[in-house]
Amino acid sequence: MTAFVAGPGAGLLSACATAGTGGEPAPAPSITASADARNPFGVDAKKPLEVVIFSGGYGDAYARELHQELYKKAFPGVTIEHNATQQIGTQLRPRFVAGDVPDVLNNSGPESMDLAALAAEGHLADLAPLFDAPSIDDPAKRVRDTITPAVIDNAKIDGKDLVLNYTVSHRALWYNAALFASMGWAVPTTWAEFTALGEQAKKEGIALFAYPGQKGPYYQLWNLLYTAAKIGGNQVIIDIDNLAEGAWNAEPVKQAVTAWVEIQAKYGEKSYFGLDHTQTQVKHLRNEVLFYPVGSWIENEMAKDKPDDFEYAIAPIPDVTAADAMPYGAIQVGVGENFVVGAKGENPQGGLEYLRIMLSKEGARGFTERTKNLTVVNGAAEGLDLPAGLMSAARAQDSAGANIITEARFEGWYKELFDYGTAQTNAVMAGRITPERFCADLQEKADAIKDDASVPKQTRSR
């Protein structure tokens, strides 16, 4: 899945600073790279390592069969405890409170942990030594010079490099190219064409659009945000991330929410609000839905259910107005699927080395082979036979050129705001509140967080 998906709100670890200590959280240990390029963090080869993986769209075989085997090859005889779950928060929150934390955590899924809260409690190891360490493939290069720069931009919490986002994802509207070809339909480029296609699809008994209302409203929250950026430019999202005054009440946000609420009312299916993401995605595979707002992990996630005549392809958001700030073809490309190292774990040095192995070409290429998703490691997927959906996303990215919709970061910075936004997304899409009320409610929540001195504030300029 992706790095910053929804889960319980802020205050997840409010007890951690005082549980059993009564004082401030202990500072995270500093780890300085050694002169040994083969073991830059001074890993104790006999020390066990614990890895927790979110077993969602990517599964967990890539960790068990690839990354952990590479770690064992580097440190023969080492013991690795592997845990896979879809309930990250439920299983890990009590452990963090008790101080019993894993060395590596793939923090993803609907129960992902609040990274800002983890950072505030000193639970996240500094990844600067990782980024400055020699690359496994070319020790003359630092790790940071072998990955897309967006990784470094998105690694920071309170100015520190604390998070590794491992995958490159494309979030847009996904459809069945084979169905479109058989029906003679063209991918709509304007909102008028989009609604006209909705009328045609309705005659065929097909919903124009759907998203998972029960467990995946954040898919649609992303879609609302990236539509707003299409209309008003990336500054719309930057202002939201920076808790800028009136950011949620900006006209492009209202226009985006209104447009999608109307699509849902006219061409959606209300019964889908009770479905989870897998159930909705199966309906998509059955051609009961034309467009589904999700990221490029969808193809691997649904590989076992996908019929042979279904061909995943990506469609940019159609022009909503005649004066959209970003042209048709603008697409959101971001880094996601975050990994952190437990600063208070038993083996943070091993955790850093595990991530360094993940960022090797062997580790990254093998991940792409197993999951059919790209990583942030430059050139790691060259020559691979990629599936149709991923090729479609790559072509869309090439066509977009510089017109890339920026990734919203408040979902990792202010999880309480993001969680509230997902709940309000279902409310507005179901018609329980108006678009104006949605924007006003989100603005009120953002302002409350901005005024809360206990919440660390983050800023971005681009």
* Residue 423 one-letter amino acid: A
Q: Residue 454: pLDDT above 60?
A: yes
Q: Residue 338: pLDDT above 80?
A: yes
Per residue in 70-88, pLDDT (tens digit) is 999 999 999 999 999 999 9
Q: Please provide the CATH number assigned to the domain covering 172-332+409-451.
A: 3.40.190.10
In the block, tokens 């006219």 appear at: 266
Give which of 171, 292, 284, 176 is closest to 230, Cα–Cα: 171
Least confident of 31-35, 116-120, 169-173: 31-35
Using DSSP's 3-state secondary structure scheme, residue 257 falls into helix
Mean pLDDT of 325-350: 96
Q: What is the pLDDT of residue 29?
A: 55
Distance CA 219, CA 200 (A): 25
Per residue in 14-47, pLDDT (tens digit) is 222 223 333 344 455 556 666 688 999 999 999 9
Q: What is the pLDDT of residue 153?
A: 86
Stretch(es) of the chain classified as CATH 3.40.190.10 = 49-168+334-398, 172-332+409-451
The fold of the 49-168+334-398 domain, in CATH, is: D-Maltodextrin-Binding Protein; domain 2 (3.40.190)
Give helix 435-451 / helix 415-429 axis angle, nearest 10°: 170
* Residue 51 one-letter amino acid: V
Mean pLDDT of 233-248: 98
Q: How large a percentage of the chain has pLDDT more than 90?
A: 80
| Predicted structure pTM score | 0.79
Distance CA 188, CA 208 (A): 12
Using DSSP's 3-state secondary structure scheme, residue 450 falls into helix
Mean pLDDT score of the chain: 91
Contact by Cβ (8 Å): 341, 359: no
Going 218 to 224 to 226 to 228, the CA torsion angle's sign is negative
